[in-house]
């Protein structure tokens, strides 16, 4: 994968992969418009440059408001959104992507994902529409989300535009090793949602021990572990304290024995598991 300067960094800076900052702000369930806008503004003014949303989150307008409020140029922000599973027929992709841009108040997004390979998703037809949006300059990159290795390889074959990223649940209790190997093989970046396993990492003794060793939070340890593995993380955070705590993970460098201890965690859990997921 094209990791650039993906070593531990000062909190003022963030390493990138293929132009995508490796730490972003997730906005899932950040549904209060004012809170969401302020979360985005706070994150951007803290130093974040990667903001993630989706049509189904129903907060694209608030995310756009937060970007507008921040003292950061739009061109500096890597902005991603996702097309929901009921909108994946070609005409719906084209129409609703433009609606997303209108809600966000932007002329383009840096990354547009297929949210799930489900419902109205058809690899060739759906991704042809994504390619059209790319050709029109409305999206800078094409991504997929919640794709297993089989679906990812099919998407790569079907899309005229390179697939930049696959966004999936990934954390110490769901390391997704096979998928990581498939993404590495095809030069597709991995973006981790729920990188803290909805708080479950805080209860892992191995992570607690490493956090004590580094005088860091369990969240910082988990995020640093992902970054060391070349995985981009988009933890959800609403309050300033959590936003800043997550950002401080960029200054943390784990020792190899720390990484080995996290890799050896045997507990497995999946936090997001809808009936229409490709693994069900």
The string of DSSP codes covering 63-74 is HHHHHHHSSS-G
Assess whether 108 carries a catalytic annotation. no
237, with CB counted inside 10 A (0-12, 13-18, 19+), is buried
204 CB-near residues (< 8 Å, 6+ apart): 172, 173, 218, 265, 267
Of the residues 48, 57, 121, 134, only one is catalytic, namely 57
Q: How far is CA 49 from CA 21, 185, 242, in A?
A: 7, 27, 16
Catalytic residues: 57
């Amino acid at each position: 994968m094209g990791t650039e300067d993906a070593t531990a960094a000062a909190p003022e800076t963030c390493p990138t992969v293929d132009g995508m900052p490796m730490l972003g702000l997730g906005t899932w369930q950040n549904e209060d418009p004012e809170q969401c806008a302020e979360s985005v503004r706070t994150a951007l003014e803290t130093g974040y440059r990667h903001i993630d949303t989706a049509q189904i989150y129903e907060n694209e307008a608030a995310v756009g408001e937060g970007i507008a409020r921040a003292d950061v140029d739009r061109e500096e922000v890597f902005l991603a959104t996702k097309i929901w599973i009921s909108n994946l027929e070609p005409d719906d992709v084209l129409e609703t992507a433009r609606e997303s841009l209108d809600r966000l108040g932007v002329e383009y997004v840096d990354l547009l994902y297929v949210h799930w390979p489900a419902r109205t998703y058809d690899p060739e037809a759906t991704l042809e529409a994504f390619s059209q949006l790319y050709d029109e300059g409305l999206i800078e990159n094409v991504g997929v989300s919640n794709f297993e290795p089989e679906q990812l390889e099919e998407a790569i074959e079907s899309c005229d535009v390179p697939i930049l990223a696959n966004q999936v649940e990934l954390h110490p209790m769901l390391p997704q090793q096979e998928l990581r190997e498939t993404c590495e093989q095809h030069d597709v970046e991995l973006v981790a949602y729920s990188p803290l396993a909805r708080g479950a990492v805080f209860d892992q003794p191995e992570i607690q021990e490493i956090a004590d060793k580094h005088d860091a939070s369990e969240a910082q340890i988990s995020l640093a572990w992902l970054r060391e593995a070349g995985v981009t993380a988009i933890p959800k955070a609403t309050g300033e304290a959590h936003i800043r705590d997550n950002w401080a993970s960029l200054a943390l460098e784990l020792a190899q024995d720390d990484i080995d201890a996290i890799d050896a965690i045997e507990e497995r859990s999946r936090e997001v598991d809808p009936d229409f997921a490709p693994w069900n």
